[in-house]
Homo-oligomer: A and B are copies of this chain.
Amino acid sequence: GRQPCVEFRRRGKEMVDLIADYLENIEQRPVYPDVEPGYLRSLIPEEAPEEPETYEDVVKDIERVIMPGVTHWHSPYFYAYFPTANSFPAMLADMLSGAIGCIGFSWAASPACTELETVMMDWLGKMLKLPEDFIAGTHGQGGGVIQGTASEATLVALLAARSRAVRMILASDPQRPETDITSKLVAYSSDQAHCSVERAGMIAGVRMKKIPTEQSDKYAVQGETLRRMIQEDKAAGLIPFYFCATLGTTPSCAFDHITELGPICNAEKIWMHIDAAYAGSSFICPEFRPLLNGIEFADSFNFNPHKWLLHWQIPLGRRFRSLKMWFVFRMYGLKGLQDYIRKHVELAKEFESLVRADQRFEISADVVLGLVCFRLKGSNEVNETLLKRINNGRKIHLVPCQLSGQFVLRFAVCARTTESRHIREAWRLITQLAEEVMQELPN
How far apart sit A336 and B58, CA to CA, in the bound complex (Å)? 16
In contact, A138 and B3 (Cβ under 8 angstroms) = no
Across-interface contacts of A65 in B (CB, < 8 A) = 112, 116
Question: For residue A136, which residue of chain B has the nearest CB?
Answer: B41
A37 and B107 in contact (CB under 8 A), knowing A12-B19, A46-B122? yes
Q: Is the interface of A mostly helix, strand, loop or mixed?
A: helix
How far apart sit A108 and B206, CA to CA, in the bound complex (Å)? 31
How far apart sit A22 and B3, CA to CA, in the bound complex (Å)? 10
A44 and B119 in contact (CB under 8 A), knowing A50-B334, A148-B148? yes
How far apart sit A100 and B12, CA to CA, in the bound complex (Å)? 16
Across-interface contacts of A108 in B (CB, < 8 A) = 71
In contact, B109 and A81 (Cβ under 8 angstroms) = yes
Across-interface contacts of A331 in B (CB, < 8 A) = 52-53, 55, 58
Q: What is the CB-to-nearest-CB distance from A335 to chain B, in angstroms, rounded to a whole number? A: 6
In contact, A151 and B314 (Cβ under 8 angstroms) = yes
Q: Of A19, A25, A67, A329, which is in contact with the most chain B CB atoms at under 10 Å from its CB?
A: A19
Q: What is the CB-to-nearest-CB distance from A108 to chain B, in angstroms, rounded to a whole number? A: 7
Is A170's beta carbon under 8 Å from chain B?
A: no
Q: What is the CB-to-nearest-CB distance from A318 to chain B, in angstroms, rounded to a whole number? A: 7
Which one of A88-96, A260-268, A293-301, A358-366 contacts B?
A88-96
How far apart sit A384 and B185, CA to CA, in the bound complex (Å)? 46
Checking B5, B91, B113, B183 against A99 with a beta-carbon cut-off of 8 angstroms, the contacting residue is: B91
In contact, B205 and A182 (Cβ under 8 angstroms) = yes
A92 and B150 in contact (CB under 8 A), knowing A40-B119, A116-B66, A205-B182? no
Q: What is the CB-to-nearest-CB distance from A308 to chain B, in angstroms, rounded to a whole number? A: 15
Is A350's beta carbon under 8 Å from chain B?
A: no
Across-interface contacts of A57 in B (CB, < 8 A) = 330
A95 and B16 in contact (CB under 8 A), knowing A41-B115, A57-B330, A101-B84? yes
A110 and B183 in contact (CB under 8 A), knowing A66-B323, A91-B12? no
A314 and B74 in contact (CB under 8 A), knowing A58-B330, A99-B19, A332-B52? no
In contact, B316 and A110 (Cβ under 8 angstroms) = no
Across-interface contacts of A70 in B (CB, < 8 A) = 100, 102, 110-113
Question: For residue A207, which residue of chain B has the nearest CB?
Answer: B179
How far apart sit A183 and B27, CA to CA, in the bound complex (Å)? 55
Across-interface contacts of A123 in B (CB, < 8 A) = 47-48
How far apart sit A66 and B333, CA to CA, in the bound complex (Å)? 20
Q: What is the CB-to-nearest-CB distance from A435 to chain B, in angstroms, rounded to a whole number? A: 25
Contact with B along A14-56 (1 / 0, CB 8 A): 0111111011110100000101011111001011111111010
Is A171's beta carbon under 8 Å from chain B?
A: no
Checking B48, B58, B81, B96 against A18 with a beta-carbon cut-off of 8 angstroms, the contacting residue is: B96
